[in-house]
A and B are shown apart, each in its own frame.
Chain A
């Protein structure tokens, strides 16, 4: 029990903080924060697998999150038949052209020795392929984007239930990680960070500007939900009855019948949004718990020991006959796939896909701060980091506003310094996160909950 006292204490404090938000601000806000904390926790589990288990630095988390979000659109949205008729064939042909190009290049690389002619051949295949792609794709894309551009203008998805998209997100992100890993994993740590960050930027810019794929910056709204809709809940009898029994005492204090009816309908509206959020919380919590169990098991398995051995001493592990390149690639894919799940979860939670919102600040650096602050190599730590940092990220502005008001209360309302500070309250979150990261790195470099296993 003593072994876990740190973990239990840290999580209890976190829970109390969220409860305090519920009491002082509102339960709806508290649940929103909790849901995002859980999503961040999934992301940090993914990043922690790469960084904590294997020592791979992946600054491309933004790209995998975006791909997870894309998966929600591609899997759950109903297909747009008109668009498929207009340009679906061209897109399919393009897809096959790409496959043929890849196969051809692989064939050239495998069956010819390195020479000038092979390089010319590969260049020819690439340039010819791109020209062919452009000539087939352009009319198709134009036709697709012309189909009711205000509402659709894209191919749509497969129309499956939205929960499948979480798996789809994992596969898409894992696929990208395979390509990125093949290209970049040989690089030294800080180059790997830069290369992954830039590749993620390329991915996001493709999602942003290829409107036939997922409407690009025009956003996809009204995505399916694994939870009931508020409107349906508000009209269904069982839910109203539930709310009535829940608030029976309060309602019985109101005498007038019409007033009681008004109060009840207001309660139903409030309760419906909380109910929906609770559904999401349940789903996310189960994902986090499943991932936590699996990753904990993996950490203490022979495989986990192997990964730590590779992380701590690559050459020794290599001498023991471990294939480092393969293991690195595998763990890179695994971690990225988990981040992909988190991306899909987030878009499902929001109900809309906004490619313009994927920015490195929010989706790469903040996640990294979470992993470092929480504790690298320790899953409980990484999840705690997700909770703490997300909580600070959201609550820093209200707290800063409170403190500014407190310290400037002796100044008049119109004092320019006070007005300026109040206006810039939202930016104190950067300050809090930055100073938090620097402090942790300096005085507790292994994070709040450090890794327990040490190889002597």
Chain B
């Protein structure tokens, strides 16, 4: 019984939150890696692009709520996803037309692209802050919990509860759906194959008649979907605040590089690697161990490897270690 209790504690406080957080990171990391693979630059506007999409979801959620439109027990934000995605893709294509395409045609070095994306980051941040302001916003409605701790205790008779927030379940399910559709698209369809070909070798792809404009367009469309959905899921689970989204760019980059940049599947797993590492290393294992060992041996300290203040630092340290030992990432990406 104690053993099951220990497992429940661990699942409740680490595994479920890490799965949800990892899914959000994974979507962002695939976005980064896709831009890197096809358009060949590190996009420093990642966090703010996610924030841009989420902003529309937040505003539309408020509007739908005001006219009484909703999904019952599901959050209204799910209804806004298609509209937010359309706005996001339009914005990305606009930016691409006026900013990135010039450097792409000129075949500028990646560093120049990175600096340009810093400029885009500034502009996007300004637009977001001017439209919605910098404050913290919650836009979750509908049922909050799928499984409450007390219900679980009554159901199983265990002394530890297991909670499953609806946002966590939605995050994991939506991520799995989106990611599987995306992988199916990249691997099985003709357009996806042409994208991979373009990413592998631009010149050969052009020779075999692949239209680069179409590839770029499709990339931004997929990127827009990933960025918006990832941003909305994060905002539902925690809350929407432009500054936090900007900061999220860093673990997302870490996930993309740890997974091997340019490799979408690696980025997907990289998101979970980062999330699990962050949460497992900063979790206090006192209660978990207390169930496993006899009472006399109960630990007095929190049994925490690092305090939660260092959450971000953990993921960055993992990145540094990976860069040191295996610069191409855990799952081989493009060579660095």
What is the CB-to-nearest-CB distance from B336 to chain A, in angstroms, rounded to a whole number? 5
Determine if A205 and B116 form an interchain contact, defined as CB atoms under 8 angstroms apart: no
Which residue of chain B has its CB nearest to the CB of A209? B309
Give B272-331 interface residues, CB cut-off 8 Å to A. 307, 309-310, 312-313, 316-317, 319-320, 323-324, 327
Which of A184, A188, A190, A202 has a CB less than 8 Å from the CB of B317? A202
B238 to chain A: closest CB distance in Å? 19
- A198 contacts which chain B residues (CB < 8 A)? 250, 253-254, 316, 319-320
Secondary structure class of chain B's binding surface, majority of residues: helix
> In this assembly, does A452 line the interface, its C-beta being within 8 Å of a C-beta of chain B?
no
B81 interface contact, C-beta 8 A: no
Residue of A193, A194, A365, A445 with most chain B CB atoms under a 10 A cut-off: A194
The 8 Å CB contact of B309, one of A195, A208, A369, A434, is A208
Q: Quick check: A430 and B42 within 8 Å, CB to CB?
A: no
User: Is B112 in the interface zone, CB < 8 Å from A?
Assistant: yes
Total number of B residues with any Cβ neighbor in A under 8 Å: 45
Known: A189-B110, A205-B309, A431-B126. A195 touches B118 (CB 8 A): no
Q: Please state if A431 and B130 are interface contacts (CB–CB under 8 Å).
A: yes
A190 contacts B123, C-beta separation under 8 Å: no
Q: Please name all residues of chain B whose beta carbon is closer than 8 Å to the beta carbon of A424 when the two chains form the complex.
A: 129-130, 133
Indicate if the CB atoms of B129 and A188 lie closer than 8 Å. Answer: no
B99 interface hit (Cβ, 8 Å): yes
User: What is the CA–CA distance of A441 and B324 in the complex, to the nearest angstrom?
Assistant: 33
Within the complex, the shortest CB–CB distance from B311 to chain A, in Å, comes to 9
Evaluate whether A430 and B126 lie within 8 angstroms (CB atoms) in the complex, with A208-B309, A441-B115 already known: yes
**Chain B residues closer than 8 Å to A194, beta-carbon distance:** 42, 253, 257
Given known pairs A191-B323, A198-B250, A208-B309, the reply for A365 and B130 (CB within 8 Å) is no
Decide if B250 touches A434 in the complex (CB within 8 Å): no
Residues of B within 8 A of A368 (CB): 115, 118
Q: Is B50 an interface residue (CB 8 A)?
A: no
Contacts of A403 in B (CB 8 A): none
Docked complex Cα distance between A343 and B139 (Å): 40
A207 to chain B, nearest CB (A): 11
Give Cα A442–Cα B120 distance, bound, in whole angstroms.
13
A206 at the interface (CB under 8 A from B): yes
Which residues of A have CB within 8 Å of B99?
Answer: 438
Tell me if A197 is interfacial: C-beta within 8 Å of chain B.
yes
Nearest residue (CB) in B for A425 is B130
Which B residues are in CB contact (< 8 Å) with A435? 119, 123
Q: Which of B112, B118, B253, B327 contacts A365 (CB 8 A)?
A: B118
For residue A433, CB closer than 8 A to chain B, the reply is: yes
B257 touches A434 (CB 8 A): no
A182 nearest CB neighbor, chain B only: B324
A378-421 near B? 1/0 per residue, CB < 8 Å: 00000000000000000000000000000000000000000001
Interface centre among A190, A428, A431, A445 (most CB of B within 10 A): A190
Q: How far is the CA of A209 from the CA of B114 in the complex (A)?
A: 31
**How many residues belonging to A are interface residues under a CB distance threshold of 8 Å?**
42
Provide the residues of chain A in CB contact with B67, threshold 8 Å: none
How many inter-chain contacts with C-beta < 8 Å in the A-B complex? 124
How many Å lie between the Cα of A435 and that of B44 in the bound state?
16
Q: Is B122 an interface residue (CB 8 A)?
A: yes
User: With an 8 A cutoff between CB atoms, is A124 at the interface?
Assistant: no
Asked, given contacts A190-B42, A190-B111, A424-B129, whether A205 binds B119 with beta carbons under 8 Å apart, the answer is no
Contacts of B122-164 to chain A: CB distance below 8 A:
122-127, 129-130, 133-134
For the complex, is A201 an interface residue (Cβ under 8 Å from B)? yes
B27 at the interface (CB under 8 A from A): no
CB distance from B61 to the nearest CB of A (A): 19
Closest to B321 in A: A183
Name the residue of chain B whose CB is nearest to the CB of A138: B301
Which chain A positions have C-beta within 8 A of B319? 195, 198
List, in ascending order, chain A residues with CB within 8 A of B56's CB.
Answer: none
Determine the distance from Cα of A423 to Cα of B132 in the docked complex, in whole angstroms.
11
Chain B residues closer than 8 Å to A184, beta-carbon distance: 320, 323
Chain B residues with CB under 8 Å of A369's CB are 118-119, 122
CB of B109 closer than 8 Å to a CB of A: yes
Whether A434 touches B336, Cβ cut-off 8 Å, given contacts A187-B327, A193-B114, is no
Assess whether A361 is in contact with B115, with CB atoms less than 8 Å apart. Answer: no
Identify which of residues 32-86 in chain B touch chain A, using a CB-to-CB cut-off of 8 Å: 41-42, 44
- CB–CB A434/B327 < 8 A: no
Residue contact A187 to B323, C-beta cutoff 8 Å: yes
Q: Which residues of A contact B8 (CB under 8 A)?
A: none
Contacts A183-B324, A184-B320, A430-B122 aside, 8 further interface pairs with beta carbons under 8 A come to A197-B250, A198-B250, A198-B253, A202-B320, A206-B313, A209-B309, A429-B126, A434-B122
25 A-B pairs whose Cβ atoms sit less than 8 Å apart in the complex: A183-B320, A183-B324, A187-B323, A188-B110, A190-B41, A190-B113, A195-B320, A198-B250, A198-B253, A198-B254, A198-B320, A201-B316, A202-B313, A206-B313, A365-B44, A365-B122, A427-B130, A428-B130, A430-B129, A431-B122, A431-B127, A434-B125, A437-B115, A441-B116, A442-B102
Chain A residues proximal to chain B, CB less than 8 Å: 57, 183-184, 186-191, 193-195, 197-199, 201-202, 205-206, 208-209, 361, 365, 368-369, 372, 421, 423-424, 427-431, 433-435, 437-438, 441-442, 445
Residues of chain B at the chain A interface (Cβ within 8 Å): 41-42, 44, 99, 102, 109-116, 118-127, 129-130, 133-134, 246, 250, 253-254, 257, 307, 309-310, 312-313, 316-317, 319-320, 323-324, 327, 336
